[in-house]
Amino acid sequence: MANHSQFGFQDASSPIMEELVEFHDHALMVALAICSLVLYLLMLMLMEKLSSNTVDAQEVELIWTILPAIVLILLALPSLQILYMMDEIDEPDLTLKAIGHQWYWSYEYTDFKDLAFDSYMIPTTELPPGHFRLLEVDHRVIVPMESPIRIIVTADDVLHSWAVPSLGVKTDAIPGRLNQTSFITTRPGVFYGQCSEICGANHSYMPIVVESTSLTHFESWSTLLSS
């Protein structure tokens, strides 16, 4: 999770988030190259006297017309690739339904008969030692590691947004509509998120906690909870 002195992204815990971080670094390098070139040209124009050949040069006009188009292509191609990867859902091993309420989340494991629960934030006065304030919940979302997970997101009252930054997932929860996305956790761990849509007075009290475990532990947990 993020810390107070952190400037970058959280550690990527899914293939999609890894691609997003790489694209972010790629775009920053392109922006750095553009800024360096513009700064160099500005300094050159301030220190050197422009000649008639420089002002009327057709080659320069051709370059500064074609070069931005090439830069846009270098940014658009990986961006479109990641966009299609985020929308692709291919034979998930588990389907999870998240329902946003004011101000808590409900979860249903649709592959199981009776596996559903509500997830509320733990108040600060009841928070166990070592847990994170305003981020810990009474019931975590447990998912098996390295398994494709499809999540269906909707809302019961107002607009919400189910977002977990380290997994690269952010999907709006709209009343009367089902949105879906998918993710794969690449390592075991606990990943924190929050509602990312202003949904009322207690908007900041709707945390999301996803715990990635082994398949054996997930089967034991699901059997215990559904029995």
CATH number at residue 178: 2.60.40.420
- Whether residues 75 and 28 fall in one domain: yes
CATH number at residue 65: 1.10.287.90
Residues 6 or more apart whose Cβ sits within 8 Å of residue 95 = 109, 110, 111, 149, 150, 151, 152
- Whether residues 111 and 172 fall in one domain: yes
Look up the domain containing 38 and give its range: 15-87
- Whether residues 83 and 98 fall in one domain: no
Q: How many whole angstroms separate alpha carbon 178 and alpha carbon 198?
A: 19
pTM reported for the whole predicted model: 0.83
What domain count does the chain have?
2
Per-residue pLDDT for the chain (227 aa), expressed as one digit of tens each? 677 777 788 888 899 999 999 999 999 999 999 999 889 888 887 887 665 555 566 777 788 888 889 889 989 999 999 988 888 887 889 999 999 999 899 999 998 888 999 999 999 889 888 888 899 999 999 999 999 999 999 999 899 999 999 999 999 999 999 999 999 999 999 999 999 989 888 888 999 999 999 999 998 988 888 76
- Whether residues 149 and 197 fall in one domain: yes
Asked whether residue 8 is assigned to any structural domain, the reply reads no
